Amino acid sequence: MAFQNIIVEIRGQVGLVTLNRPQALNALNEALIAELNEALSDFESNPGIGCTVITGAEKAFAAGADVKEMAQKGYVESYLGKFLDGWTRIAETRKPVIAAVSGFCLGGGLELAMMCDIVIASETARFALPEITLGIMPGAGGTQRLPRFIGKAKAMDLILTGRMMDAAEAERCGLVARVVRPENLLDEAMAAAAKVASFSTPIVMMAKETVNRAQEMSLAEGARFERRLFLSMFATEDQKEGMQAFVAKRKPDFRNR
Ligand code: HXC
């Protein structure tokens, strides 16, 4: 499929998606979300890819879902249709995804970033869930994921006032993993992704799945889930290789088996 709204590249073992609707500050319309799903699903089934980076432009990672497209929507048509299905599928991506965020990261843009596993932000990044100003609330997981990232107090502050938070505040409250200089953003994100991709893909996928369970399960259930997957790793060749390489003081050669 030829993409109109994103640019897709493969660099080594990393898939790179650049959101590309500059005239609309990368507002996420349905066509873009469908293309993003297609790219992620291609990467997911490509054994040569171990990690994906999603980035935007200098001025905007994404200024939200496309308000001009949403403005026309009605309830019944949306309920019967597939309005948010594409967004849900992004959150279900099994290989790790890193968001490299510069500029505006608003509404659905922030919800997309929070579906990613690591968020790396430029010093210029600005985050908000301004849906309240449009007569709606976040609808792609924002009301649920934001409090899990930053706690109820700050999540309520952001969701009920719609205010913007800068990169320093976002790092302080745990919304982003790292803040870097604007000129280093993509290099840092690609280096982190290359590092993740250099490890055993099935083990990385299990680690991602297990950390995500922490958001959904009790501590006891989560720890049992972790134990089960941890023990299953001893059935992989990559566990043998990783540990034998350590003992032999050589670099491991993971085969994703
Ligand atoms: C559609 C958008 C857009 C959006 C910007 N544009 N954001 N189009 N949907 N979310 C368009 C503008 O209409 C304008 O197009 C062009 O991009 C440049 O934007 P400007 O407003 O001229 O830029 P600036 O003055 O720099 O202001 C930047 C901004 C502002 C502060 C980010 O654009 C803004 O407030 N955007 C809306 C942010 C927002 O409310 N996001 C949440 C959306 S709701 P023209 O054609 O006029 O030049 C949401 C719900 C998700 O995300 C729920 C699940 C799906």
| pLDDT above 90: residue 2 | no
Region 205-217 average pLDDT: 96
Q: Ligand 1: distance of its center to the CA of 225 in Å? A: 41
Region 200-216 average pLDDT: 97
Q: Which of 56, 60, 109, 131 is catalytic?
A: 131
pLDDT at 40 (0 to 100): 97
Q: SS in 3 state form for the chain? A: CCCCCEEEEEECCEEEEEECCHHHCCCECHHHHHHHHHHHHHHHHCCCCCEEEEECCCCEEECCECHHHHCCCCHHHHHHCCCCHHHHHHHCCCCCEEEEECCEEECHHHHHHHHCCEEEEECCCEEECHHHHHCCCCCCCHHHHHHHHHCHHHHHHHHHHCCCEEHHHHHHCCCCCEEECHHHHHHHHHHHHHHHHHCCHHHHHHHHHHHHHCCCCCHHHHHHHHHHHHHHHHHCHHHHHHHHHHHCCCCCCCCCC
pLDDT at 1 (0 to 100): 65
Q: Which of 50, 60, 99, 111 is catalytic?
A: 111
- Please say if 31 is a catalytic residue: no
Q: Ligand 1: distance of its center to the CA of 52 in Å? A: 26
The model's pLDDT over 36-63, given as tens digits with 9 standing for 90+, comes to 999 999 999 999 999 999 999 999 999 9
pLDDT above 70 covers a percentage of the chain that reads 100
pLDDT at 167 (0 to 100): 98
The chain-wide mean pLDDT, for the chain, equals 97
- Please say if 111 is a catalytic residue: yes
Lowest mean pLDDT among 17-26, 74-83, 95-104: 74-83
Q: Ligand 1: distance of its center to the CA of 47 in Å? A: 37
Q: Please tell me the residue having the least CA distance from ligand 1 atom 38.
A: 63
pLDDT at 175 (0 to 100): 98
| Residue 146 beta carbon below 6 angstroms from any ligand 1 atom | no
Higher pLDDT, 227 or 2: 227
- Please say if 131 is a catalytic residue: yes
- Please say if 209 is a catalytic residue: no
| Residue 57 beta carbon below 6 angstroms from any ligand 1 atom | no
Q: Please tell me the residue having the least CA distance from ligand 1 atom 13.
A: 24
| Residue 66 beta carbon below 6 angstroms from any ligand 1 atom | yes
Q: Which atom of ligand 1 is nearest to the CA of 67?
A: 9
Q: Ligand 1: distance of its center to the CA of 234 in Å? A: 49
| pLDDT above 70: residue 181 | yes
Higher pLDDT, 248 or 2: 248
The model's pLDDT over 140-156, given as tens digits with 9 standing for 90+, comes to 999 999 999 999 999 99
